[in-house]
Every structure is written in C-alpha cells, then in structure tokens.
Chains A and B, each alone.
Chain A
C-alpha cells in the first residue's frame, strides 16, 4: 500500500465491540490508529455512520487462500479482499498449498506479497510436518522467526501421535499455537459425509463422529502433556465438545473453534447429492447443531474459524466422491450468524462480536482488540438494520457460489478499514 491513510471521521455511529459499548459517537481515525471520539476537524474523509455499528475488524484463525499452487481457486489478492468484505481485518492462512508452507522463505514470501494487497492482514500458519506428510517436523523456531503464527497440517490429521507430541513440545517452548484437524484417519475411512441415517439412506460413505472425538481426545491429551497451546479446528459434534469441555475443566491449554456451516447446516443438505456442501469434517445432524450452538453461545467454543475453503465451480460440480471438501464462506460468515443466532435472540450481538474478535485473539495469544484511542484502526462498519440477499456473483472471492445463495441476511459489513485505510466499501 503506497498512499498514506487519511484522517477519517465516521459520524453518528454506534461504537461497540465484544466487551464494551461506547454508545453513539463520531470516531476519528488517523495515522493508522483510532485517534479518538467526537474530535474537531478538519477531516480528509467523512463517513455517515448513522444507524450503523462500528467495531473492531474480525480475526479469522482458519482460512485457505490457496496461494501458491491453487490460484485458480483463490489467491492472496482475492482472498484477502474477500476477507475484508466479510469484515475481517486479520486472517491466518493455512499451509496446505503447493508447495506446502513448510520453510521460512515461503512464509516471508507470503508476507511480502500480502503487504501490497489492500485487504485483511495476513498472518500465515506454517505446516507442522514437511510436505504435510506427517513424518519430519518443520523448523518451528525458524518459521516463527519468519512470521508464522501457527503450526498446522490442517486438511490432514497428524496420524502419528509421537510426531504430534514432539511438535507440541517445540511449540510449547516457542509459544506457538498448534492447530489440529482432529479426525482419526482410519475410523474416518473414505467417508464423504456424516455417518448416520442420512448417509445410509443416500448410500454414501459415512464418516462417524467418533473419528473426530477420539482424535480430539488425543490432541487434548497431548496439549495437557506438553503444555502446548492446542487449538482444535472445526469442532462439529457433541462428543468432541464433551472432550474439549472436560480438558478445559482440567486446565489443559486447549481452545476450539466452530465454522459457520456447522452451526447452520445439517447432513440433510446433502440429500440432493449436491457436492457444494461437502466439507470435512462433515455436516452433522440437527442435534449436533443444537449442541454446537449451545456451546458457542455459552462461550465454551472460543471463536469462529470460517475454514473458508474455496474451490472452482467445476471442481465442486463433480460427483460426490470426486468433488473436493470445502465451502467458501468468508464474505457471509458474520451476517449468516447474525441471522441465525442474533436475530432470533439466541445470543446478543455483543457476544457474537466477541467470538469474531476477542475469542480468536485469545486463541492466538494476541492483544485484545480494543476501541481505546491509540488502538490500531482495524475496524468494520456493520449494517444490522437492513436485510440483504446473498448474491454469490458479487463475491470478491474467486469462488462465486454459495450454499446460502438467495438467503436474506442482516449484519453485512458496509466498510472495512485496516490500519486506518479503507480496504473495502460495499457498492
């Protein structure tokens, strides 16, 4: 980014975040920070914020930006701009690219490239093992030095428990977060959807909840054993939640996330054999959605991780066995959950904001997002008043299709600032 951020006033806007509520103010941004509230001009830019909410831009600990290697699905430019359109100011990119992000040069390369892109800030994860092969450990210290904020083989479970243990010993010493895609590979088998009444009715290979729960148990046990901060990605079922809950109660350094799709869709979504909703771990049942919702509302689930996983339409239009796993969702994640949880009164707006702000910051061990003067001006303006329809052709992501196409949602981001610079404005 070459131009200097401008002194910006956002007038008459309701300023709040997951922990505080400053009421209706005029927020002033300058030099990349929140300068203060209700200050005098002159301003380079004035924004009418009346009726809107101004809050800290969101943090996503789990996105797939596909660069390098799979730029046909997504690249840094499209992914970081899409993230900003979803209200995110910071995203943690997964390492399952081609080549895999398993050495410091690649981490630096990503950071250099992302610095020029007007969008969310990039904080890359690096792989836990070379080539995601689950065998040789990557150089965690050098990766951290280069800017990696997380170690994960996400996309592939770490099958070897001793490899997991040793990686966690390194991570504990360095203070790095280890994120796990926790599914027992053999119990999961070739499953393409939740194993249950629906998979049996459809005749598709099932992937049982127990595959997730047993691996979550192992990963939590290793967190407790090594003291590493272990973050369980995309928890999907009651059994896995119970395990995480138990380990948290013992004081183990364990956190977990849930995705928007696992909070809103069930395995019945696959009944029409539409691979669009094929994800891993799979969509479960209404009972699991209820269990996840209760734990999410109660704060037992630490945050949302979108697991934004773009693919091309041609790839997703194959048969149910061949189509790749994943849903591109980063632009609809927040409004989708406003509509599903806040509008019906299941949780407050402030609590939902918390799961997009303080929740993920705590998981990553970062400073708490703040609205205090002097804080970074990573902000998003939200419209909670008007419903707007999901129109995938307007997505900035390369994946211009969505399971929620046509849904009318509240809570869309209107404008996003990163470091005081406007990086997204809804047309």
Chain B
C-alpha cells in the first residue's frame, strides 16, 4: 500500500472547517487504494493491527455503524461497540464518562454519532485520541460527504471541481447537505440547495458561495449531480409543508425534471429512500442513479479515514 503524502497528522474528522483541498485529496487517494484492497480475494490488510476503534452511537444507525466497524476490522483493528439501547450507553452514563472509561481501556479512535450538534467536538476536547464525527445533529456528517464525492468522481472519472451539485430537500435539518455543501465547495464545485422555503437554511448557515433556490427547475439547470435528501415525514407536523404528496408535486426528482441538467447528470441519495416522495423510484433504479455505488463506497472511505487518523500523515505539509 502506498504511503499518503505530507507530514501533518490530522487527529480528528469533525467537519471540514480546518481541512484544505489537499487534506481531502489525500484521503480520497487512499480511498482508491482501499477500494482495490476490497477487490482482492482476502479483503483484509494489517494496517491498523494493534489499534482499537470504539463506535459510540447515541442514535440508531446500524448501517453507518457496521460500515465503520467493518472498515476497522478490514484493517485488522479491534472494535468496541457502544450503541443506544446497548449495555453501556443506556443507564444514564454521560458521554464524558463513557469516553473516560474507553480511554482507560486503551481505545485509539472514537467514532461518534449523536443527536446533539457538537457532541464529537466535545469528545475531541476530552481526549487526545482520534475522533471521527459519524453525524452530530444537523451539523455535519463528513464521511457521508467524502463517499458522495468519491462515488461521483469515480462514476464520471473526473474531479468535482467546476461541476454543479444541486442538493434538494430538507437542507435546514440535514447534516448530509451541510457536509456535502462544505466539501464540494472546498474542492471547487458550484453548489445550489433547493427546497421549500420552510426547509431552507436561514441566517446564512451554509458555506460561502452556496446558492439557495426554491424553484426546482431553476436549481437543476445545468446540474452535473443532483442529491435528493430523505424527507422526514414528521416535518409535516412541524408545519413545514402540507403533505408528502404536495412536497413531491414540487420537489420530487424525476427523469423529466432533469431535462435542464447536463446530459450525464448523476443522481445521489444518502438513503434510506422514500420512493415516490423525494425521488421517483424508476430514476433511483435507472442508469443515472449512483445510489448502490454510494452504499459500496462507504467502506473504502471509512477505511481511508481511519487509516489517516490513526497512522497516516494525511494532508499537505
């Protein structure tokens, strides 16, 4: 396996605020290497032998948790699981106490999923071990954004720089939207977010240069990549929209609505999908869809992130 370039050790992946494009490129390059590993008959390397990775999931997301745990094991790391409803995270033990306990058990990396924005930052302030944010409230979900970029770039065999990403849906409450907007901007892409006015971020909550548009046809004009976000039905009870049908009427991504986009436009969805609500099921299964590739890309991306944080010298000097 090739050694990542640079000398700066990045210890945490909480969001992309302190990352340069070069830092991200280093992780994406390692992702390609990991993807090759996963194509071998023996899908395992000894890179993280002797390291212990703990997953702390205060929100149910078996898919993301298993992806991280497999990424650790595929590099021969040991894994400890702490999930909501499991033995340790329940019983009122505080996040801080859980982290202290795990540190005493010689954990080297914490993977944290939490309903509160900033929880992973708090963990990073209490420990000098590696910390990966696996989703904190509506704030950030950086590995999802990395796998979305990696999936898109692999599908078109070109970097996202200069291309147009359109994120459609409940942007105001979406950590996936926020992290993708930050990462695609960092890598030089144009980003437009689109959805009902009640689901758009307010007070300038997105990275510089992101366009906010409430009319879908205008937003999709010239798009290279379109990301439909999962519509949380409970938002209806928060008076954000009239009904899922009314939402779909205006904002569902369909083949016909992609007419103004680029010919080779790709469609992404972070899953799980509400077919027939935010995305037309036929489109999700069609040739423009990257949905299954996204799921597959989770593993090499998370392997690369763990590698960079634990042993790699990720990023530029």
Partner among B118, B138, B204 whose Cβ is within 8 Å of the Cβ of A197: B204
Partner among B118, B140, B201 whose Cβ is within 8 Å of the Cβ of A273: B118
Question: What's the minimum C-beta distance from A42 to chain B, rounded to whole angstroms?
Answer: 58
Check A203 against B117 for contact (C-beta < 8 Å). yes
List 25 A-B residue pairs with CB atoms under 8 Å apart, sorted by A's residue number. Answer: A195-B202, A197-B203, A197-B204, A197-B205, A199-B203, A201-B205, A202-B139, A203-B118, A203-B136, A203-B140, A203-B175, A204-B137, A273-B125, A317-B94, A317-B96, A318-B94, A318-B95, A318-B96, A319-B95, A319-B114, A319-B115, A319-B116, A319-B118, A320-B117, A320-B119
Q: Once bound together, how far apart are the Cα atoms of A273 and B116, in whole Å?
A: 10
Question: What's the minimum C-beta distance from B134 to chain A, rounded to whole angstroms?
Answer: 15
* Per-position 1/0 for B116-148, Cβ under 8 A of A: 111101100100000000001111100000000
* Per-position 1/0 for A320-354, Cβ under 8 A of B: 11100000000000000000000000000000000
Task: Please give me the residue from chain A that is nearest to B58 by CB atom.
Answer: A319
* Per-position 1/0 for A182-218, Cβ under 8 A of B: 0000000000000111011111101000000000000
Q: Once bound together, how far apart are the Cα atoms of A200 and B210, in whole Å?
A: 14
Question: What's the minimum C-beta distance from B240 to chain A, rounded to whole angstroms?
Answer: 12
The residues in A between 152 and 209 inclusive whose CB is less than 8 angstroms from any CB of B are 195-197, 199-204, 206
Check A319 against B138 for contact (C-beta < 8 Å). no
Residues of B within 8 A of A200 (CB): 201-205
Most central of A196, A273, A319, A321 by chain B CB within 10 Å? A319
Task: Please give me the residue from chain A that is nearest to B172 by CB atom.
Answer: A200
Q: Is residue A367 contacting chain B, with contact meaning CB distance below 8 A?
A: no
Residues of A within 8 A of B116 (CB): 319-322
Most central of B115, B116, B121, B139 by chain A CB within 10 Å? B116
Q: Once bound together, how far apart are the Cα atoms of A203 and B94, in whole Å?
A: 21
Check B205 against A321 for contact (C-beta < 8 Å). no
Given contact pairs A197-B205, A204-B137, A273-B119, enumerate 5 new A-B contacts (beta carbons under 8 Å).
A196-B203, A199-B203, A319-B114, A320-B117, A320-B119
The residues in B between 191 and 210 inclusive whose CB is less than 8 angstroms from any CB of A are 201-205
Known contacts A318-B95, A319-B114; A273 and B121 CB within 8 A of each other: yes
Q: Once bound together, how far apart are the Cα atoms of A159 and B201, in whole Å?
A: 28
Residues of A within 8 A of B175 (CB): 203
Residues of A within 8 A of B164 (CB): none
Task: Please give me the residue from chain A that is nearest to B174 by CB atom.
Answer: A203
Q: Is residue B224 contacting chain A, with contact meaning CB distance below 8 A?
A: no
Question: What's the minimum C-beta distance from A316 to chain B, rounded to whole angstroms?
Answer: 11
Q: Once bound together, how far apart are the Cα atoms of A228 and B203, in whole Å?
A: 38
Q: Is residue A272 contacting chain B, with contact meaning CB distance below 8 A?
A: yes
Check A273 against B122 for contact (C-beta < 8 Å). yes
Q: Is residue A386 contacting chain B, with contact meaning CB distance below 8 A?
A: no
Known contacts A202-B139, A203-B136, A203-B139; A320 and B201 CB within 8 A of each other: no
Q: Tell me if A's interface is mostly helix, strand, loop or mixed.
A: loop
Q: Is residue B11 contacting chain A, with contact meaning CB distance below 8 A?
A: no
Task: Please give me the residue from chain B that is nearest to A321 by CB atom.
Answer: B116
Q: Is residue B230 contacting chain A, with contact meaning CB distance below 8 A?
A: no
Residues of A within 8 A of B118 (CB): 202-204, 273, 319-320
Q: Is residue B313 contacting chain A, with contact meaning CB distance below 8 A?
A: no
Residues of A within 8 A of B139 (CB): 202-204
Q: Once bound together, how far apart are the Cα atoms of A320 and B123, in whole Å?
A: 12
Q: Once bound together, how far apart are the Cα atoms of A317 and B94, in whole Å?
A: 8
Q: Once bound together, how far apart are the Cα atoms of A200 and B94, in whole Å?
A: 26
* Per-position 1/0 for A13-55, Cβ under 8 A of B: 0000000000000000000000000000000000000000000
Question: What's the minimum C-beta distance from A201 to chain B, rounded to whole angstroms?
Answer: 6
Residues of A within 8 A of B95 (CB): 318-319
Q: Is residue B302 contacting chain A, with contact meaning CB distance below 8 A?
A: no
Q: Is residue A314 contacting chain B, with contact meaning CB distance below 8 A?
A: yes
Task: Please give me the residue from chain B that is nearest to A197 by CB atom.
Answer: B203
Residues of B within 8 A of A204 (CB): 117-118, 137, 139
Known contacts A203-B136, A317-B96, A322-B116; A195 and B203 CB within 8 A of each other: yes
Most central of A201, A204, A273, A322 by chain B CB within 10 Å? A273
Known contacts A203-B178, A314-B94, A321-B115; A272 and B204 CB within 8 A of each other: no
Known contacts A195-B203, A197-B204; A203 and B119 CB within 8 A of each other: no
Q: Once bound together, how far apart are the Cα atoms of A318 and B116, in whole Å?
A: 10
Q: Once bound together, how far apart are the Cα atoms of A273 and B140, in whole Å?
A: 14
Residues of B within 8 A of A273 (CB): 117-119, 121-122, 125
Check B117 against A202 for contact (C-beta < 8 Å). yes
Task: Please give me the residue from chain B that is nearest to A202 by CB atom.
Answer: B117
Question: What's the minimum C-beta distance from A185 to chain B, rounded to whole angstroms?
Answer: 14
Residues of B within 8 A of A197 (CB): 203-205
Question: What's the minimum C-beta distance from B284 to chain A, rounded to whole angstroms?
Answer: 28
Residues of B within 8 A of A196 (CB): 203
Most central of A201, A206, A314 by chain B CB within 10 Å? A201
Residues of B within 8 A of A206 (CB): 203
Question: What's the minimum C-beta distance from B161 to chain A, rounded to whole angstroms?
Answer: 25
7 A-B pairs with least C-beta separation: A200-B205, A203-B139, A273-B118, A319-B116, A203-B117, A321-B116, A200-B203
Residues of A within 8 A of B117 (CB): 202-204, 273, 320
Task: Please give me the residue from chain A that is nearest to B207 by CB atom.
Answer: A201
Residues of B within 8 A of A201 (CB): 205
Residues of B within 8 A of A322 (CB): 116
Residues of B within 8 A of A317 (CB): 94, 96
Residues of B within 8 A of A320 (CB): 116-119
Most central of B96, B114, B118, B138 by chain A CB within 10 Å? B118
Question: What's the minimum C-beta distance from A273 to chain B, rounded to whole angstroms?
Answer: 3
Check B122 against A319 for contact (C-beta < 8 Å). yes
Q: Once bound together, how far apart are the Cα atoms of A251 and B211, in whole Å?
A: 48
Task: Please give me the residue from chain A that is nearest to B238 by CB atom.
Answer: A189
Q: Once bound together, how far apart are the Cα atoms of A202 and B115, in whole Å?
A: 13
Q: Once bound together, how far apart are the Cα atoms of A200 and B207, in whole Å?
A: 11
Residues of B within 8 A of A318 (CB): 94-96
Q: Once bound together, how far apart are the Cα atoms of A341 and B141, in whole Å?
A: 43
Residues of B within 8 A of A321 (CB): 115-116, 137
Q: Once bound together, how far apart are the Cα atoms of A296 and B307, in whole Å?
A: 55
Check B114 against A203 for contact (C-beta < 8 Å). no
Task: Please give me the residue from chain A that is nearest to B118 by CB atom.
Answer: A273
Task: Please give me the residue from chain A that is nearest to B138 by CB atom.
Answer: A203
Question: What's the minimum C-beta distance from A32 to chain B, rounded to whole angstroms?
Answer: 47
Residues of B within 8 A of A272 (CB): 121, 125
Q: Once bound together, how far apart are the Cα atoms of A196 and B94, in whole Å?
A: 29
Question: What's the minimum C-beta distance from B237 to chain A, rounded to whole angstroms?
Answer: 12
